[in-house]
Amino acid sequence: MKKRVLSGMRPTGRLHLGNYLGAAKGMLALQDDPDYETLFTVVDIHATTTPYDAKTLQQSARDVFIDYLSIGLDPEKSAINIQSDLADVITQLSFYVSSVMTVARMQHLPTFKDKVKQHPDNVTMALLNYPLLMAADILIYKASKVPVGIDQEPHLEVAREVARKMNEQFGMDFPEPTRFATKGEYVPSLLGEGKMSKSVEGSSIELNDDLDTIVAKLKKAPTDAGTGAAVPTSGGVANLFQFVELFQGEAKRREYEAAYTGSGVRYGDLKKELAQAIFDELRPIQKKRAELEANPDYVDRIIKEGADRSRVIAEATVAEVREKMGLRK
């Protein structure tokens, strides 16, 4: 039997290069690998675990779904759904698996602690349960590979623990899911510190940014005098070199590194070329997006079909868990 793949993104804003390089590229690689059966989801229920706008959530989820298709996720090859179309089965499983995890374990997760710092007035049960909802997303399809950025590793650790305990205590056969990593598993912020993130203003380039916007954003990225005894390994310049590698290749990066310890790097030129290279990669995605937006009936149909295909697998897993846990049919 083919191994299953599951990945998802929260509709908390438009997708950026971190989502694209850290997750979407891996999703695309596995979609084209005949050894895997791929399922992808837009996790709108996860978006309700931090403050959000109920009026715009449906549109945001649809936007991310369209982004998925624009990037190249293919409904002929993958089952692609919006999580709340499967809310009954996913939230049901997430409750069942919460019986094998302790409160202390969930409270100690670094991702939970970060969110508590970000939203101190919103330390809800939903937030504490977030990783169990994510474990349910993965386990409901018995997926074993999860293409996500490195920031999701603590959540995958929880999913593995849940799988192990459900197998030991109830005789389930969940695979212990592992991360599928890409070259861009940690995409840095444009600001020189930390990772690219939706919640940090000015840190990201979005998939729908035009060339002028990308140029303007890169202009603000911090640099230095352009020359020194050793190439920086952290901070703004190191990050710029990383973007060069990701969009223009390793050889180009080595050229700039040699210039840094030699004749000097002209950041104005570097940024202009880099902006163009990034835009060249985004342009076909933006074109595809415009086509899809002009065809809402097609998008509606694909959303429905994705949910129906996913549901067949999800319902079978939930039925099995209920039986093994001694619940009524």
Q: Considering only CA atoms, which of 27, 25, 30, 32 is closest in space to residue 8?
A: 27
Query: Which residue of 4, 25, 46, 271 would you call a contact of ligand TYM, by CB under 6 A?
Result: 46
145 interacts with ligand TYM by CB under 6 A: no
Instruction: Report the residue number, 162 or 265, with the smaller CB distance to ligand TYM.
Output: 162
* Single-letter amino acid code for the residue at 27: M
CB of 46 to ligand TYM, least distance (A): 5
Query: Which residue of 134, 140, 246, 278 would you call a contact of ligand TYM, by CB under 6 A?
Result: 134
10 interacts with ligand TYM by CB under 6 A: yes
**Region binding ligand TYM by CB under 6 A among candidate stretches 73-81, 134-142, 296-304, 313-321:** 134-142
CB of 136 to ligand TYM, least distance (A): 9
CB of 156 to ligand TYM, least distance (A): 8
Per-residue CA distances from 33 to 2, 45, 285, 304 (Å) = 10, 29, 21, 25
Q: Output the six-digit token pair for 69.
A: 């298709």
Query: Which residue of 75, 119, 151, 272 would you call a contact of ligand TYM, by CB under 6 A?
Result: 151
Q: What is the largest CA-CA distance in the chain?
A: 74
Q: What is the number of other CB atoms lying within 10 angstroms of the CB of residue 226?
A: 16
Report how many residues bind ligand TYM under the rule CB under 6 A: 27
- Could you give the CA distance from residue 175 to residue 171 in angstroms, rounded to a whole number? 12
4 interacts with ligand TYM by CB under 6 A: no
CB of 220 to ligand TYM, least distance (A): 17
Instruction: Report the residue number, 52 or 272, with the smaller CB distance to ligand TYM.
Output: 52
- Could you give the CA distance from residue 315 to residue 113 in angstroms, rounded to a whole number? 33
Instruction: Report the residue number, 161 or 255, with the smaller CB distance to ligand TYM.
Output: 161
6 interacts with ligand TYM by CB under 6 A: yes
Burial, 241: exposed, middle or buried (Cβ in 10 Å; 0-12, 13-18, 19+)?
Answer: buried
Q: Considering only CA atoms, which of 86, 91, 39 is closest in space to residue 307?
A: 86
Q: Considering only CA atoms, which of 138, 144, 154, 174 is closest in space to residue 33?
A: 144
CB of 326 to ligand TYM, least distance (A): 27
By CB under 6 A, the residues from 181 to 240 that bind ligand TYM are 184-187, 195-197
Instruction: Report the residue number, 6 or 303, with the smaller CB distance to ligand TYM.
Output: 6
**Region binding ligand TYM by CB under 6 A among candidate stretches 118-126, 144-152, 206-214, 302-310:** 144-152
318 interacts with ligand TYM by CB under 6 A: no
18 interacts with ligand TYM by CB under 6 A: yes
8 Å CB contact between 189 and 27: no
152 interacts with ligand TYM by CB under 6 A: yes
CB-nearest residue to ligand TYM = 22
Alpha helix positions (H), the chain: 17-19, 25-31, 44-47, 54-71, 87-97, 103-107, 110-118, 125-139, 153-170, 211-219, 236-248, 250-261, 267-293, 296-324
8 Å CB contact between 130 and 176: no
8 Å CB contact between 190 and 203: yes
Q: Output the six-digit token pair for 122.
A: 């919103």
- Could you give the CA distance from residue 7 to residue 30 in angstroms, rounded to a whole number? 11
Instruction: Report the residue number, 49 or 260, with the smaller CB distance to ligand TYM.
Output: 49
CB of 155 to ligand TYM, least distance (A): 6
Query: Which residue of 132, 148, 190, 214 would you call a contact of ligand TYM, by CB under 6 A?
Result: 148
> What residue ranges bind ligand TYM (CB under 6 A)?
6-10, 18-19, 22-23, 43, 46, 134, 137-138, 146, 148-149, 151-152, 155, 184-187, 195-197
